[in-house]
Structure 1
Amino acid sequence: MLRDVLLQQFQARLQGLPLRVQTWRGDILEGAGAKVHLELHTPKALKVLTSPTMGGLARAYVEGLIDLKGKAEDILRLGQAFCRADACRTGKGSEAWKWWRHTRLRDRKNIAYHYDVSNDFYSLWLDKNRVYSCAYFEATEDTLDSAQEKKLDLICRKLMLQPGERLLDIGCGWGGLILRAAEHYGVQATGITLSQNQHDYVQEQVRQRGLQGKVEVRLMDYRDVPEDIGYDKIASVGMFEHVGRRNLRPYFDKIARLLRPGGLVMNHGITSVALNSKGLSSGISEFVEQYVFPGGELVHASTVMQEMAAAGIEPLDAENLRPHYGRTLWEWVNRLEARETEAIRMIGEKRYRIWRIYMAGSAFAFDNNWLALFQILGGKPDAAGRQVYPFNRRHVYAT
């Protein structure tokens, strides 16, 4: 029977892997020193496992065809070996036809799909300030809470925030940066988001903290921010991944028009490691597109700086925080797994599986240099080409 042939092919791929497998018939296949338990709930799983991809395994797990039990890091490492996965795919084909992925309506729907799951769900595993981006682990003993506050301060110091300055945060999330910048650096902060849940949460935080008149949050697309009043400093943290490769130049053009001469902008976001990446291979990009971040696109850091410069913004400083994001994601995974029962009660088992496997896979990708996280600081020179900026980076690390 075809089923038996597929099972034999699957067994052949298991040679030398520390994996214990239980089939829907109760058969047990066990490799030496098994660290991960794989349960097959249906014969349909064999079609995935005989010619496996990491994205295919993730999809089978999310859809309940299989169960994966063990430490998430062991699962990902074994999955890479089982699928013989490489880091990324490259190519020169045009993706310009995907313009429709980044219309205002489509972007709003994409953001709502990911961020409007449930504020309470995100609070289960994010830090106390609900910062949903790479933390900065200055010391090995830093907790997630302290590392996220240090990341916010690192951005504020790189932007050289001064009391009374106007700060715009594009994609402000749950308000971690604008709230801290107003309370600790004395700026007038404005944040924009496309997520209704985030908008409502920040408004409530502003009220509770008595920051009316100092912090404003708007439910708004970055393309629609009024340009009549400029900003001294602009931050975009974990947002430009949603912009789309084709829209990077208009995105930075918009920032350049919003930024006052002499102003600074911080673009903090995930980038590809390969120069001409078309996304992670082994079905990973397709899984993320379908289940996690519809419309997300990554480019190399050099492309970010090229588009920034083309818009008249001078790149001044770039720092890769790749190891920090790997650790951040493992922190999130561990915290989510520790509250699995609550999470499933809030969002259901399927969505829980999506977030668990997505974040664990992302942590693995950062740890293995498949993805990078760059903070790129740019400045808008004045009419004479001058940009006031220190000759060294001491201000970045001063506390």
Structure 2
Amino acid sequence: MAEAARRLTALAQQVLGTPLPVRLRAWDRSESSGPPGTPGSPGTPVLVIRRRRALRRMLWKPGELGLARAWVAGDIDIEGDLYQALDLLAGHLWEREEDTARRSGPAALVHALRDPVLRAAGRELLRLAGPWPPPAPPREEARTGGGPLHTVRRDKRAISHHYDVGNTFYERVLGPSMVYSCAYWPGPDATLEDAQHAKLGLVCRKLALAPGQRLLDVGCGWGSMVLHAAREYGVHAVGITLSGEQAVYARKRVAEAGLADRVEIRVQDYREVRDGPYDALCSIGMAEHVGSERYAEYAHELHCLLRPGGRLLNHQIARRPLADEADYRVDEFIDRYVFPDGELAPLGRTVTQLEAAGFEVRDVEALREHYALTLRQWVANLETHWEEAVRLTSPGRARVWRLYMAACALSFERNRLGVNQVLAVRTPETGAAGMPLRTRDWR
């Protein structure tokens, strides 16, 4: 009799201490109806466990990593509204990982079987999971080579994992703007292109760019910012990236725009730039890759690259502060499949470290809701071009991008994540920062 879904639903309630908030369909085609009181039970999203090996993955690596591996491999899936499913499951699965994140493999199973409440459930799950061991992790999992974090070499490997997956793939996801950071929406009905154009203009106005100035874009991506600044504001711009594929694409765009005399694209680490000073610096969606151990160095290097009176626009995702910052753990799914070695910091720490490097912070603007809108549009673009995206990369890679962008959209909407533009100045000893009395005139 096909009854795996019923048994799994009962076991999930036993382990979680609460009914599973979604319907469940198992590999034997059995399906649970969902717990009483779930929103519109027949229309509730369905968690599909396509293969028994998904259970082996989740038992071997309890918490987020096991779920991530099962998702990337296609062993589990969601039918219905992905956002609704993630919202319903967040408090039942992903937010419980603090209890299990430090246990994995056989040790985790032993721990579970020692718990009198979980012992019977654990044995039943082991029977349902099938023969051990679990399959190897999906090939999309990052391999940065070990060694110390955030060396130039390791950072380059980490950046390559995320960005060197094909420029055409990113064209389908990001749209014609090729901007991979939070847009600035004039309204919810604006187009993504309009919102990204507005963001680039906002950055340029905050930096007070003027013809003839030198701009350094740290983490320039596919070149959209330096192109916009050179074309619209007449600056001489240098964009640096660690992604070879991005650099090739950006240089082609520069040549096609006829701006090769004013825009230079380099494959270069921020620690290797030696041709300062610049009149203005921007770092848009790059500082998340720097790491807490290197952030003071990052801030110091940028300060040294600016002329006195020059401005820095640092656009960076922030997490909520913790009561004890020692409890911070990098998200395992993001670390293994999305942004290897990436770290998020609270806004307050970022401001403190910029000030410690000698910057005067003059303005902070929160764009949290703007990023949620941006991510939802990227997810829609990916879903529209799904078959092509799979062909351009792999089924697992496309699944990674869909899950991480949808989950991040919810995190911004629920105030679990924020994103901020911090405008800072290398103020001269005279104190003349060159800032307007009304700093929000750039609106």
Do they fold alike, i.e. is TM over 0.5?
Answer: yes
Superposition TM-score, scaled by structure 2 size: 0.81
Output one character per residue of 1:165-224: Cα deviation in whole Å (capped at 9) or x when no partner: 110000000011100000001111110000001101111111111101111111101000
Aligned residue runs from structure 1 range 292-307, under 5 A: 292-307=338-353
Give, in whole Å, the separation in 2 of the partners of 1:74 and 1:124: 24
> Which residue does 2:37 correspond to in 1?
none
Query: Would you say the 8 A contact 2:312–2:424 is kept in 1?
Result: yes
Where does residue 10 of structure 1 map in the other structure?
12
**Distance change (3 Å), C-alpha of 1:70 and 1:239:** same
Structure 1 residue aligned with 2:95: 85
Count residues in correspondence.
386
Q: Look up the SS of the partner of 1:381 in the other structure.
A: coil
Secondary structure of 1:162's counterpart equals coil
Q: Once the 2 structures are TM-superposed, how far is the Cα of residue 334 of structure 1 from its aligned partner?
A: 1.1
Distance 1:309 1:15, change over 3 A: closer
Map of 2:27 onto structure 1: 24
Indicate whether 1:130 and 2:178 are aligned. Answer: yes
The 5 A counterparts of 1:267-278 are: 267-275=314-322
Distance in 1 separating the partners of 2:17 and 2:58:
10
> Counterparts of 1:1-399 in structure 2 under 5 Å?
8-10=10-12, 19-31=22-34, 32-46=41-55, 53-83=63-93, 85=95, 100-227=148-275, 229-275=276-322, 285-397=331-443
- Separation (CA, whole Å) in 2 of partners of 1:284 and 1:27: 36
Q: For residue 339 of structure 1, report the CA deviation from its aligned partner.
A: 1.1
Q: Deviations over 1:339-377 (max 9, x none)?
A: 111111111101111111011111111111111101000
User: CA-to-partner distance for each residue in 1:147-167, whole Å, 9 max, x for gaps?
Assistant: 000000011111111111110
CA shift, 1:39, in A, is 1.7
Which amino acid in the other structure matches residue 307 of structure 2?
Answer: R
Identity %: 40
Check whether the contact 1:54–1:79 (CA below 8 A) recurs between aligned residues: no
Structure 2 contact 22–85 (Cα < 8 Å) conserved: no
Structure 1 position 22, deviation (Å): 1.6
Q: CA deviation at 1:88?
A: 9.1
Q: Compute the displacement of 1:16 (Å).
A: 5.5
Aligned partners of 1:170, 1:223: CA distance in 2, in Å? 10
Change (3 A) 1:38 1:86: closer
Residues 234-256 of structure 1, C-alpha deviation per residue, up to 9 Å, x if partnerless?
00000010111011111111111
Q: Which secondary structure state, in structure 1, belongs to the residue aligned with residue 148 of structure 2?
A: helix
More strand per residue: 1
- Per the normalisation by structure 1, the TM-score is 0.90
CA RMSD across the alignment? 2.7
* Structure 2 partner of 1:92: none
Distance 1:5 1:197 in 2: 48
Whose radius of gyration is greater, 1 or 2? 2
Q: Distance in 1 between matches of 2:259 and 2:279?
A: 20
Cα pair distance change 1:379/1:332, threshold 3 Å? same
Structure 1 residues not aligned, in runs of 5+: 90-97
2:117 match:
none
Higher mean C-alpha displacement, 69-78 vs 163-172? 69-78
The Cα of 1:7 is off from its aligned counterpart by 5.8
Higher RCO (CA < 8 A, seq sep 6+): 1
Q: Which runs of 5+ in 2 are unaligned?
A: 35-40, 100-145
Q: Which moved more, 1:13-22 or 1:388-397?
A: 13-22
Deviation at 1:55, TM superposition (A): 5.0
Aligned 8 A contact 2:64 2:97 in 1: no
Say which is worse superposed, 293-302 or 25-34, in terms of deviation: 25-34
